[in-house]
Structure 1
């Protein structure tokens, strides 16, 4: 082999090696891109599932809270009814106090007229 052929073979080998290094780098980039895309899709799926679960739990909590509030207002109404029946309604108490005050004033006036 002549020197020119040796040089040409060396250049061709170097070019082929450089091409293979370039292709390996491209392959690594492609593989990492696919991996990242796969991880993103997995994360996106998990995020959607988590969001759906949170919405479902929120709906259940809202329903339970509304039920408890309704029960609570129902209990409050029953307590008010019982108070009213026992004469503990505040509007009735105020009216009774005013009525008693007027009677005391009338009695005080009557007693002072008698003395």
Structure 2
């Protein structure tokens, strides 16, 4: 064999070996993936069961916490209403309802408007009356 033919055979053998190594790597990766898939398939029901159990525990804890907060909120609202009732009773408003307070508030607002309008009126008229009353007392 000539030198060129032997080099061509070496290159050809090397190319074939590279191709076979790549094919072998693919086969090995496929086999490992297949093994991991089978292992995961076996463990999946157990993992799923564990996750479901953890979910149940967390749900139970959350419900308990929500119930605790809700019951404390109701107790706070009740005690707040009781405090307001005590303050009303101490101020002499024991039997006064919120509608009564609203009516009183409207009346106070109306009176405040009247007072403001009277205080904004010109003061010349009362000054003339005062001068007239001074003249009448002087006579």
Q: Name the TM-score class by shorter chain.
A: 0.5 to 0.7
Alignment match, 2:46: 71
Match of 1:97 among 69, 90, 107: 69
Structure 2 Cα separation of the partners of residues 67 and 113 of structure 1:
66
The alignment status of 1:80 with 2:52, answered yes or no, reads: no
Per-residue CA deviations over 1:81-104 (Å, capped at 9, x if unaligned) read 2455xx41x245224412321222
Segments ≥4 residues shifted beyond 6 Å: none
Structure 2 Cα separation of the partners of residues 94 and 66 of structure 1:
37
Give the C-alpha shift of residue 106 in structure 1: 0.6
Give the C-alpha shift of residue 33 in structure 1: 0.3
Structure 1 Cα separation of the partners of residues 69 and 63 of structure 2:
10
RMSD: 2.9
SS state at 2:79 partner: helix
Structure 2 Cα separation of the partners of residues 66 and 104 of structure 1:
52
Give the C-alpha shift of residue 111 in structure 1: 4.8
Report the TM-score when normalising by structure 1.
0.55
Q: Which protein is bigger by CA-based radius of gyration?
A: 2
Structure 2: tracts of 5 or more residues without a match: 88-139
Report the TM-score when normalising by structure 2.
0.48
The alignment status of 1:28 with 2:3, answered yes or no, reads: yes
Alignment match, 1:109: 81
Match of 2:22 among 47, 55, 77: 47
